[in-house]
A and B are shown apart, each in its own frame.
Chain A
Amino acid sequence: MKSGKARMTHGTDRVRSTSDTARLAGLLNRVGRNRDGDAFRALFDHFAPRVRSFLINRRVAPAQADDMTQDVMLAIWRRASSYDPGKASAATWIYTIARNVHIDHYRKTMRALKVDENDPQFQPPEHPLPDDLYERSEASDSVAGAMAELPEDQKEVLRLAFTEGLSHSEIADRLSVPLGTVKSRVRLAMNKLRQGLGEWK
């Protein structure tokens, strides 16, 4: 059972906005093992606004993005015990939850509306994010390191894939490059990161 006492205590363990991979993993681990309400509040402060921005970037309407962020945070609280700090960062684990919540909502909406997914109103708007997106991260972990070292063309493919949620063929269309070019950029970026993660372990 949850500890009501832990939930009444405030602000002892809040993280600052600078990312701190080990600290966030520790907080998530505490939520999973001890149902620690303070650790959850600190995680909420760090991740809830980011999850909402992530959904907004994927063209989710603000009111829906609020609802979905609530679902993501609730899922974090409930499923934290399945988090393994040795396997992934807290951000990566939370990313997969946000992605799955987004997919579920999307499929439900599509089924309910019976809309044509290729309708232009569901296509992404042309609004590239600032180039300094990567530099804004102060994370010193291997992922941020690998991302920062990637050539521009590989970063661009990953940015369209992860922030806008485009498929590899949509990325090829958007960049006006052959599918094979998208494939090779994905492979190079992925291998770079695997190498980095290997060294880190």
Chain B
Amino acid sequence: MTQRGHVLDDTWYLDYATGALGTEAQNVMIASHVELSEEARARVDALEAFGGGFLETADAEPGVLPFDADDILRKDAAESAAAPQSGAPASIGIDDDLPLPEALRDYLGRTGTPVRWGFLGPGLRKAILWTGEHGEQLWLLRARPGVAIPHHGHRGSELTLVLKGSFWDGDQQYMPGDVEEAYEGVEHDIRIDEGGECVCLALTEGKLRFDSPLLRAFQVFTGM
């Protein structure tokens, strides 16, 4: 086993399965990963089965509820009559070749968040989807084949989920559905696979920190 895995620490899956993740951005990130990774799905399935087990053992005091099954059926009929078919979800103007997981599409549609690409570096584009109170960011990275993201470290942690294409970090390859979890102090060198464009969803707690003074200066201009 290598230090770096392509799935996350199990506590991420636990907090996702119980609904205890701190932010909606974390929830979108983990839901997207679970959608694309079989291994992550299997772990969450097992944990959610415990949730089902606990629901089954919850007290079933009869007669406490102020409504019954027929009230639910009547409510459904009334609401369906009032709003017949909602139809397809509103378009959020995302290019069709962008392979976004359902969880992310739902989030963008629900919050009306546009995907606006900005320059991040040569061959790199970034679209910020959400910024939290403490500077956390949920963003999309779009990289040309073969691009290298030079040696850098992190302030705070970063999760990077591959949606399309692949990248290498050292001798580890990350494919669609894989997540790389980088902690504060972990240094890495990323190289986008030659085979094609790479699109990733990233959740960052702090800014990237480059070793080279030149890149640090560059960072000031790009907001990377």
The 8 Å CB contact of A41, one of B17, B45, B47, B69, is B69
What is the CA–CA distance of A143 and B51 in the complex, to the nearest angstrom? 10
Q: A69-B65, A103-B19, A183-B9 are in contact. Are A50 and B53 (CB under 8 A)?
A: no
Q: Is A168 an interface position by the 8 A CB rule? A: yes
Contacting pair A99 B50 (CB below 8 A):
no
From B54, B56, B76, residue with most partner A Cβ within 10 Å: B56
Contacting pair B51 A92 (CB below 8 A):
yes
Q: A49-B64, A88-B48 are in contact. Are A162 and B22 (CB under 8 A)?
A: no
What is the CA–CA distance of A186 and B68 in the complex, to the nearest angstrom? 37
Residue of B nearest to A158 (CB): B50
Q: A49-B64, A91-B55 are in contact. Are A167 and B49 (CB under 8 A)?
A: no
What is the CA–CA distance of A107 and B61 in the complex, to the nearest angstrom? 28
What is the CA–CA distance of A100 and B17 in the complex, to the nearest angstrom? 10
Q: Is B85 an interface position by the 8 A CB rule? A: no
Contacting pair B14 A168 (CB below 8 A):
yes
From B13, B47, B53, B59, residue with most partner A Cβ within 10 Å: B53
Residue of A nearest to B12 (CB): A168
Question: For window 2-35 of chain B, which residues contact chain A by CB distance below 8 Å?
Answer: 9-11, 13-15, 17-22, 24, 27
Supply 20 A–B pairs (Cβ within 8 Å), ascending by A: A2-B77, A17-B60, A40-B72, A44-B69, A44-B72, A45-B62, A50-B56, A53-B59, A70-B67, A70-B75, A78-B76, A91-B52, A91-B56, A99-B51, A137-B53, A182-B11, A190-B10, A193-B49, A194-B42, A197-B46
Contact count band on B: 35 or more
Q: Which residues of A contact B10 (CB under 8 A)?
A: 183, 186-187, 190
| Interface of B, helix, strand, loop or mixed by DSSP | helix
Contacting pair B62 A77 (CB below 8 A):
no
Q: Which residues of A contact B13 (CB under 8 A)?
A: 190
What is the CA–CA distance of A91 and B53 in the complex, to the nearest angstrom? 7
Q: Which residues of B contact A187 (CB under 8 A)?
A: 10
Contacting pair A162 B72 (CB below 8 A):
no
The 8 Å CB contact of A74, one of B47, B57, B58, B72, is B72
Q: Which residues of B contact A5 (CB under 8 A)?
A: none
Q: A66-B65, A162-B50 are in contact. Are A19 and B56 (CB under 8 A)?
A: yes
Supply 18 further A-B pairs (C-beta < 8 A) apart from A53-B61, A165-B18, A189-B50.
A17-B60, A45-B69, A49-B60, A49-B65, A69-B65, A73-B69, A74-B76, A77-B72, A91-B56, A92-B51, A95-B54, A99-B19, A107-B24, A137-B57, A139-B56, A162-B51, A162-B54, A193-B50
Contacting pair A46 B20 (CB below 8 A):
no
Q: Is B70 an interface position by the 8 A CB rule? A: yes
The 8 Å CB contact of A52, one of B14, B57, B65, is B65
Residues of B with Cβ closer than 8 Å to A?
Answer: 9-11, 13-15, 17-22, 24, 27, 42-43, 45-62, 64-73, 75-77
The 8 Å CB contact of A88, one of B43, B45, B59, is B45
Q: A99-B19, A165-B19 are in contact. Are A54 and B69 (CB under 8 A)?
A: no
The 9 tightest CB contacts between A and B, nearest first, are A92-B52, A44-B69, A91-B52, A167-B20, A95-B51, A168-B11, A53-B58, A41-B69, A53-B59
Q: Which residues of A contact B19 (CB under 8 A)?
A: 99-100, 102-103, 165
Residue of B nearest to A78 (CB): B76
Contacting pair B50 A147 (CB below 8 A):
yes
What is the CA–CA distance of A8 and B58 in the complex, to the nearest angstrom? 30
What is the CA–CA distance of A99 and B60 in the complex, to the nearest angstrom? 18
Residue of B nearest to A49 (CB): B60
Contacting pair B21 A163 (CB below 8 A):
no
For the complex formed, measure the closest distance between the CB of A42 and the CB atoms of chain B, giving whole angstroms.
8
For the complex formed, measure the closest distance between the CB of B10 and the CB atoms of chain A, giving whole angstroms.
5
Q: A107-B24, A186-B10 are in contact. Are A136 and B57 (CB under 8 A)?
A: yes
What is the CA–CA distance of A185 and B42 in the complex, to the nearest angstrom? 18
Contacting pair B57 A133 (CB below 8 A):
yes
Q: A96-B48, A165-B20, A183-B11 are in contact. Are A48 and B58 (CB under 8 A)?
A: no
